[in-house]
């Protein structure tokens, strides 16, 4: 992959955690370039193992790939939304890591759902019978069609693609272009274009194009998140109205605090993935970002809107730094471990940079939050308390990074700009009191 060039002024703005249109566009371009590299790697692997794949698997992959290519030629912009959806990256990563044989072949089958959604978005026609060997056809960003028969039929209907489970268990009309197969209210209403017990749609999150993804088979990596391997929450145990309410109020807090943050969240967060609640009291992390799935925030149900607002900013900055590092490497591999105040375990320089960057973004949020006259008093007080608690910790971590010999030249510049922003926040605080 040719690494994308990031202009110096964009890099500086990113280092200071401030959202800018140029920074957001650079990050989205980096995510897409990485995604295209993974698709190319998958194609190369299939071609290399072509002779060893069973005929139905090989033929299914070739048909899916041809449909995907035709969709991209028709409307590359619409298809990009599907290719860059977070769980598409997670699927590609797992497929490429799978050993040859049945495990790899099972992963290949997921391309069917990706290709069909891409074709629908682009307005491509498609007809025929689809193989669904797992019995579950995942449609990225839309939902899942359960196919106990192992087959589904695809065809046109009123200018849209329609999927029907071969035994008639369920069906859904797929949306075209930028629309989605859900009503957008975020009130838990299912897609009215689907029918039957076999179809389940994702739920919209209010005020944005993001979804609450509690269905995609690749939404949480195996065996789970964190040292206790927290699994994905099951849909039956997901309180959709509670999630929608917290999301709505968290957006309101971010908007009242820093309009740029809510614009950045809308641009970079495509899915909120519920994690199982078990173990939260024992110190299980409530939020996580998977590097292979940028744009997805994995989290347990936050205690309140303030916690979700902080989680969104924190995890978005993990995504930002991971995407940036794919374009402009910031760290070299090294064996030195360092301690930071917010983690009990020593961390390599790359992990220290990730954590420090996310906490610097939170400091920026809290500094603005304590002065946000339009925000509730409880939020302003919380912001002031947390700013005071973490400012020194972030400063200490920045000192560790500035003394590290594992940063690249760009990484040293990046950390220096982080340090300047940290110092600027402190100066403004002192001058305003």
Confidence band (pLDDT; 50, 70, 90) for 424? very high
378 pLDDT higher than 90: yes
> What pLDDT does residue 357 have?
98
Final residue of a domain: which of 218, 241, 264?
Answer: 241
Whether residue 49 lies inside any domain: the answer is yes
Mean pLDDT within 135-164: 93
Query: DSSP letters of 289-314?
Result: --TTSTTEEEE---SSHHHHHHHHHH
Q: Do the beta carbons of residue 114 and residue 144 sit within 8 Å?
A: no
Owning domain of residue 353: 329-433
Task: Determine the Cα–Cα distance for residues 276 and 230; give it in Å rounded to an integer.
Answer: 6
Strand order in the sheet with 151-157: 128-131, 151-157, 160-165, 171-173, 194-195
Task: Determine the Cα–Cα distance for residues 176 and 160; give it in Å rounded to an integer.
Answer: 7
Task: Determine the Cα–Cα distance for residues 250 and 184; give it in Å rounded to an integer.
Answer: 18
Same domain for 39 and 146, yes or no, is yes
Neighbouring-strand partners of residue 195: 171
Final residue of a domain: which of 206, 224, 241?
Answer: 241
Final residue of a domain: which of 222, 241, 260?
Answer: 241
Whether residue 264 lies inside any domain: the answer is no
Q: Do the beta carbons of residue 291 and residue 322 sit within 8 Å?
A: yes
Whether residue 284 lies inside any domain: the answer is no
Q: What is the pTM of this model?
A: 0.92
Whether residue 224 lies inside any domain: the answer is yes
Whether residue 310 lies inside any domain: the answer is no
79 pLDDT higher than 80: yes
Q: Do the beta carbons of residue 100 and residue 49 sit within 8 Å?
A: yes
- Indicate the number of domains in the chain: 2
Whether residue 430 lies inside any domain: the answer is yes
Whether residue 207 lies inside any domain: the answer is yes
pLDDT tens digits for 300-321? 999 999 999 999 999 999 999 9
Whether residue 392 lies inside any domain: the answer is yes
């Amino acid at each position: 992959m040719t690494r994308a060039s990031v202009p110096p002024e964009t890099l500086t703005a990113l280092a200071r955690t401030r959202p800018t249109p140029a920074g957001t566009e650079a990050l989205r371009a980096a995510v897409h370039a990485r995604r295209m590299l993974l698709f190319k790697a998958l194609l190369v692997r299939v071609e290399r193992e072509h002779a060893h794949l069973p005929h139905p698997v090989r033929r299914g992959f070739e048909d899916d790939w041809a449909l995907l290519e035709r969709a991209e030629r028709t409307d590359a912009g619409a298809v990009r939304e599907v290719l860059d959806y977070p769980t598409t990256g997670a699927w590609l990563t797992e497929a490429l890591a799978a050993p040859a044989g049945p495990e790899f072949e099972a992963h290949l089958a997921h391309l069917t759902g990706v290709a069909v959604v891409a074709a629908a978005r682009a307005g491509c026609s498609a007809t025929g019978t689809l193989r669904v060997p797992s019995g579950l056809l995942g449609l990225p960003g839309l939902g899942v069609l359960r196919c106990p028969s192992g087959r589904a039929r695809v065809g046109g209907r009123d200018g849209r693609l329609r999927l029907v489970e071969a035994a008639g268990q369920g069906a859904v009309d797929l949306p075209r272009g930028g629309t989605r197969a859900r009503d957008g209210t975020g009130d838990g209403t299912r897609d009215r274009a689907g029918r039957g017990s076999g179809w389940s749609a994702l739920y919209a999150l209010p005020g944005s194009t993001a979804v609450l993804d509690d269905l995609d088979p690749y939404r949480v990596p195996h065996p789970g998140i964190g040292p206790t391997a927290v699994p994905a929450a099951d849909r039956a145990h997901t309180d959709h109205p509670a999630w929608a309410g917290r999301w709505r109020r968290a957006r309101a807090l971010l908007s009242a605090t820093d309009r740029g943050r809510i614009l950045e969240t809308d641009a970079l967060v495509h899915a909120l993935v519920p994690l199982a609640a078990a173990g939260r009291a024992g110190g299980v992390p409530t939020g996580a970002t998977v590097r292979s799935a940028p744009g997805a925030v994995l989290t347990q149900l936050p205690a309140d809107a303030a916690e979700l607002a902080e989680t969104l900013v924190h995890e978005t900055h993990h995504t930002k730094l991971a995407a940036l590092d794919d374009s402009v490497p910031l760290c070299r591999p090294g064996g030195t471990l360092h301690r930071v105040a917010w983690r009990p375990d020593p961390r390599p320089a790359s992990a220290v940079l990730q954590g420090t960057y996310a906490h610097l973004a939170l400091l920026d949020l809290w500094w603005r939050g304590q002065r946000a006259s339009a925000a509730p008093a409880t939020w302003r007080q919380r912001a002031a308390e947390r700013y005071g608690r973490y400012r020194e910790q972030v400063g200490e971590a920045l000192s560790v990074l500035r003394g590290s010999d594992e940063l690249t030249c760009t990484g040293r510049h990046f950390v220096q700009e982080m340090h300047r922003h940290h110092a600027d926040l402190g100066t403004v605080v002192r001058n305003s009191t």
